[in-house]
Structure formats: structure tokens, C-alpha cells
Amino acid sequence: LAKTTQPISMDSYEGQEVNITCSHNNIATNDYITWYQQFPSQGPRFIIQGYKTKVTNEVASLFIPADRKSSTLSLPRVSLSDTAVYYCLVGDRNQGGKLIFGQGTELSVKP
Amino acid sequence: NAGVTQTPKFQVLKTGQSMTLQCAQDMNHEYMSWYRQDPGMGLRLIHYSVGAGITDQGEVPNGYNVSRSTTEDFPLRLLSAAPSQTSVYFCASSTIAGGGNEQFFGPGTRLTVL
């Protein structure tokens, strides 16, 4: 199973762009890279997912280099409400089905 | 749609007691899973299912049983509760079609074992 490594914590200020990088050296060919956000006392919420290159949605962008051994979640112009834990996850439900979360990155956005 | 529902929201057990955490989804998702999250920690996969009648173990299956008799329901049974099982339990579901890892999570069950 691919294992992910993320920074334990990050600090930012309102209005800044935040980039969180995840390492996944053993990613398999069919694995997707997925990011979740979790607020205290709530279940994780899907943010974005990609397989290669760049993916963008209304919330974030995901950058994946050609070797796919890492990925970067980019949050543009963060606000206080973006303070949360962000999890990187790699896997494919069609290939064995196990979706293992890493330890997550605790993002603190300050005014 | 109610999405993913979990009952109960809170539960206190004594060591050795058994109980079942309920999880249901109304999105006709094939894939369902159970995670536990200890205070200040990440999520750990307990068991998962890729369809009715099919279950498999995750990272930390010991002390837990699951069954999947219908697409909608995926109950988690604690056989003999231990203080080490004090945690928040999250159920999640997703469709398999199209690949990827997008899961929908329930609100969680907060379990304390004394």
C-alpha cells in the first residue's frame, strides 16, 4: 500500500496562498491522489482528486509532477475558515479497495 | 437524500460489553468503510466492503466484526469492548464506478469505553 508523508503542521495568514506537499514514493500505476479536509468534530470532506498533471476546482488546485511521487495541494487566498486538518490519500478502490489516510497536515490560518 | 447516517452519536460502554454501531447510506453506493480516529490522530481503516456480501480487513480490524447483507447498511460490531477502543468512529461510502477515492463520510459516533 502506498504510504503518504505530509508536514505535521503549517501556519498561514488570511489572504495568502497555501501549498501543502504530500510524498507518496510507492504510488501504484492505477492510484489516484485525493485530498480531504477535516474540521474538529466532523467527518472528512473530499476536496480534490487527480491522477496526473494539474486539476483545479472551485476550492483548490492539485499539482502532480510526471513521476507522481508527490503532489501539492494549493489553497488560494485562505481565510480563517480554512483552518483544518488536510489529508492526502493515494489508492484506488478498484484495486484492492483499501484507502489509507496519512497523518494529515494541521493548517492554522491567522488574521 | 440523507447521505451517510450513523447511530448512535454518543455511546458509553463498560469493558467487556458488546454493541453495534449502525451505518446507512441512501446513495446506492457499492463501497463502504469504517474508520476510527483517536484524539489528535488521523483516521485508521478498520474494515471495508466493495458490495453486499463482500467485506475485507483494513489496518486495525482486531476486536471488530462487520457484515454487509444489503447495499445500504454496514454495521460495525464491537465484540468485547476495551478502553483502547475509545475513539470516534466514522463510516464512509462511495461509488466505485469511475475510479478514484471520493468518499462521503457520516457525522461519526463518539464511543467511550470505561
With H, G, I as helix, E, B as strand and everything else as coil, classify residue B97: coil
Average pLDDT, chain A: 91
Retrieve residue A6's grid coordinates. 505530509
The closest of B97, B96, B94 to B105, measured between CA atoms, is B94
Shortest CA gap A49–chain B (Å): 7
CB contact under 8 A, B104 and A46: yes
pLDDT computed for residue B98 by the predictor: 67
Positions of chain B with pLDDT lower than 70, given as ranges? 97-99
The count of residues in chain B is 114
**Looking at the partner chain, which of B41, B48, B100 has a beta carbon nearest the beta carbon of A97?**
B48
Average pLDDT, chain B: 94
pLDDT computed for residue A78 by the predictor: 97
Neighbouring residues of B29: CB distance < 8 A, sequence distance ≥ 6: B71, B93, B94, B95, B104
Which residue(s) pair with A7 in the sheet? none
Rounded-to-integer distance, Cα A86 and Cα A97, Å: 21
Percent of chain A at pLDDT exceeding 70: 93
Retrieve residue A92's grid coordinates. 484506488
pLDDT computed for residue A28 by the predictor: 82
pLDDT band at residue A100 using 50, 70 and 90 as cut-offs: confident
Residue of A nearest to B41 (CA): A103
A2 has pLDDT over 60: no
C-alpha separations of B31 from A11, A54, A56, B62, B92 in Å: 35, 27, 26, 21, 8
Enumerate the H helices of A48-105 as residue ranges.
Answer: none
Residue B33 neighbours by CB distance under 10 Å: 27
Q: Is B34 on the interface with A (CB under 8 A)?
A: no
Q: Is A45 on the interface with B (CB under 8 A)?
A: yes
The stretch A73-101 carries a mean pLDDT of: 86
pLDDT band at residue A103 using 50, 70 and 90 as cut-offs: confident
A1 has pLDDT over 70: no
Residue of B nearest to A86 (CA): B42
Q: Looking at beta carbons, which residues of chain B come within 8 Å of A100?
A: 45, 58-59
